[in-house]
Structure 1
Amino acid sequence: MASPTTVRPEPPQQDMTAELTLVARALRAELGAARCVVYARRPDGGLARLAADGDPRECAHTSAAVPLLVEGEVAGVLEVERTAVDGRLPDDAAADRDAAAAAPYAGLAETILGRERQASLGARQRRELAELGRTRELQRRLSAAVAAGTEGDALVALLASLLGTGVALLDAALHPVTWSAPEGAAVLHGSSFLPGTARVRAALGDLGPERASVVLPPDPDAGLMRRHLVAALVGEGEVSGYLDVVETGRRLGPADATVAEYAAAVLALQSLSETRRAQAVVQARDDVLGELLRGSRTPDDLRRMAAHVGLEVDRPHLLVRLPVAEGRSARDGRAPASALVGEALGVPVLAIAEPDAVVLLVALPAGSAPEARVKAQLGAVLDRLGPLTGCRRAVVSAVCRRVEDYPPAHAECRDAESIVAGFGGRAGVLDAADFRTLRLVVNGERTSVAVRFAETLLGPLRRNDAETGGDLTDTLRHYLACGAQVRATAKALGVHENTIRYRLGRIEHVGGLDLRRFDALLAAQLALQVDDLARGGSA
Structure 2
Amino acid sequence: MTAHLPANSPHLRLLDDILIRTATQAGFETASILVEDGARGVFIPLPHNGSHSSPLRVLPEDPLVRRALASTEPIVASDRALTHVSPRETDFARVVLLRVSDPGSSPVRLLLLGDSRPGVEFTTQHSTALLALRPLVDSAALTVLDAEEQRRRRRDLEHGRLLADERAAVVERLDDAVATADTMSAIVRVCAELTGKAVVLFDLRERMITAAGPHSAGRVSMPSLGTILRSYPPDATVGPKPIVLSAGPATDLVRRKIVTPIVERGELFGWLVLDEHPTPLRPTDEYTAARSARRIGSQFLIQRRIARVAWNAKSALTRQLVDGTGVQEDLAASGEYLGVNTEAQRVLVFIQVPDGEAEGLDHAMVEHLENSLGVEVLSTRGSEGLLLLVESSDDVGSVVSVSRVKTAVAQATAELCPPPGLIAGVSSVCEPAAFSRAYREAREVVKCMDRFSERSTHRILSVDDLGPARVFLANGDVAALRHYADDVLGPILVDDPGCADLLRTLQCWFDTGRSPRGAAHQLGVHENTVRLRLSRVRAMIGLDVVGNAADQLSIQTALLVLRFQGHPALAVLDRREEGEMGLDHAVGDRTGTAVSPPGCDRIRPGANRPNAG
Whether 1:207 aligns to 2:235 is no
Whether 1:137 aligns to 2:169 is yes
Aligned to 2:447: 418
Q: Using the TM superposition, give the Cα deviation of residue 260 of structure 1 relative to its aligned residue in structure 2, in angstroms.
A: 1.3
Aligned to 1:434: 468
One-letter amino acid matched to 2:191:
L
Equivalent in 392, 400, 408 of residue 373 of structure 1: 400
1:196 aligns to what SS in structure 2?
A: helix
Cα distance, 1:184–1:371 mapped onto 2, change above 3 Å: closer
Q: Using the TM superposition, give the Cα deviation of residue 222 of structure 1 relative to its aligned residue in structure 2, in angstroms.
A: 1.0
Aligned to 2:193: 161
1:242 aligns to what SS in structure 2?
A: strand
1:62-141 alignment runs, 5 A limit: 62=97, 64-67=98-101, 73-74=106-107, 76-79=109-112, 95=127, 98-141=130-173
Aligned to 1:363: 391
Whether 1:49 aligns to 2:45 is yes
Q: Deviations over 1:179-236 (max 9, x none)?
A: 2222599x98423576625642445841314xx1111222333112222222221123
Contact persistence 2:262–2:268 (CA under 8 A): yes
Counterpart CA distance in 1 for 2:286 and 2:398 is 59
Counterpart CA distance in 1 for 2:333 and 2:552 is 35
Q: Using the TM superposition, give the Cα deviation of residue 101 of structure 1 relative to its aligned residue in structure 2, in angstroms.
A: 2.7
Equivalent in 245, 253, 274 of residue 282 of structure 2: 253
Counterpart CA distance in 2 for 1:249 and 1:394 is 55
One-letter amino acid matched to 1:363:
E
Contact persistence 1:330–1:355 (CA under 8 A): no
Cα distance, 1:199–1:14 mapped onto 2, change above 3 Å: farther
Cα distance, 1:290–1:36 mapped onto 2, change above 3 Å: same
Contact persistence 1:82–1:90 (CA under 8 A): no
Counterpart CA distance in 1 for 2:311 and 2:7 is 68
Cα distance, 1:195–1:113 mapped onto 2, change above 3 Å: same
Q: What is the percentage of aligned positions where both structures have the same residue?
A: 20
2:100 aligns to what SS in structure 1?
A: strand
Aligned to 1:395: 425
One-letter amino acid matched to 1:413:
A
Contact persistence 2:232–2:245 (CA under 8 A): no
Q: Using the TM superposition, give the Cα deviation of residue 352 of structure 1 relative to its aligned residue in structure 2, in angstroms.
A: 2.6
Q: Using the TM superposition, give the Cα deviation of residue 261 of structure 1 relative to its aligned residue in structure 2, in angstroms.
A: 0.7
Aligned to 1:224: 253
1:221 aligns to what SS in structure 2?
A: coil
Contact persistence 2:447–2:474 (CA under 8 A): no
One-letter amino acid matched to 2:92:
R
Contact persistence 1:38–1:77 (CA under 8 A): yes
One-letter amino acid matched to 2:257:
H
Contact persistence 1:68–1:78 (CA under 8 A): no
Q: Using the TM superposition, give the Cα deviation of residue 243 of structure 1 relative to its aligned residue in structure 2, in angstroms.
A: 1.8
Equivalent in 360, 363, 378 of residue 350 of structure 1: 378
Contact persistence 1:345–1:374 (CA under 8 A): no
Aligned to 2:35: 40
Q: Deviations over 1:375-406 (max 9, x none)?
A: 33334446424414546864234665455x44
Counterpart CA distance in 1 for 2:47 and 2:432 is 98
Counterpart CA distance in 2 for 1:303 and 1:152 is 32
Counterpart CA distance in 2 for 1:427 and 1:261 is 49
Q: Using the TM superposition, give the Cα deviation of residue 262 of structure 1 relative to its aligned residue in structure 2, in angstroms.
A: 0.6
Counterpart CA distance in 2 for 1:155 and 1:254 is 20
Contact persistence 2:5–2:151 (CA under 8 A): no
1:265 aligns to what SS in structure 2?
A: helix
Aligned to 1:146: 178
Q: What's the TM-score once normalised by structure 1's chain length?
A: 0.66
1:274 aligns to what SS in structure 2?
A: helix
Q: Using the TM superposition, give the Cα deviation of residue 301 of structure 1 relative to its aligned residue in structure 2, in angstroms.
A: 6.0
Q: Deviations over 1:114-153 (max 9, x none)?
A: 2222223222321221122122112212211221115233
Unmatched 5+ stretches in structure 2: 50-78, 80-89, 479-547, 555-613
Cα distance, 1:204–1:294 mapped onto 2, change above 3 Å: farther
1:191 aligns to what SS in structure 2?
A: coil
Counterpart CA distance in 1 for 2:225 and 2:435 is 52
1:455-470 alignment runs, 5 A limit: none
Contact persistence 1:288–1:305 (CA under 8 A): yes
One-letter amino acid matched to 2:189:
A
One-letter amino acid matched to 2:351:
L
Contact persistence 1:281–1:309 (CA under 8 A): yes
Comparing 212-221 with 339-348, which one deviates more in the overlay?
A: 339-348
Contact persistence 1:293–1:410 (CA under 8 A): yes
Q: Deviations over 1:263-316 (max 9, x none)?
A: 111112112212221222112111232344456667776566555434444544
Cα distance, 1:438–1:26 mapped onto 2, change above 3 Å: same
2:247 aligns to what SS in structure 1?
A: coil
Q: What's the TM-score once normalised by structure 2's chain length?
A: 0.59
Cα distance, 1:135–1:440 mapped onto 2, change above 3 Å: closer
1:222 aligns to what SS in structure 2?
A: coil
Aligned to 1:59: 94
2:146 aligns to what SS in structure 1?
A: helix
Counterpart CA distance in 1 for 2:37 and 2:163 is 27
Contact persistence 2:346–2:432 (CA under 8 A): no
One-letter amino acid matched to 1:421:
D
One-letter amino acid matched to 2:400:
R
Contact persistence 2:262–2:270 (CA under 8 A): yes
One-letter amino acid matched to 1:65:
R
Cα distance, 1:437–1:122 mapped onto 2, change above 3 Å: closer
Comparing 255-264 with 332-341, which one deviates more in the overlay?
A: 332-341
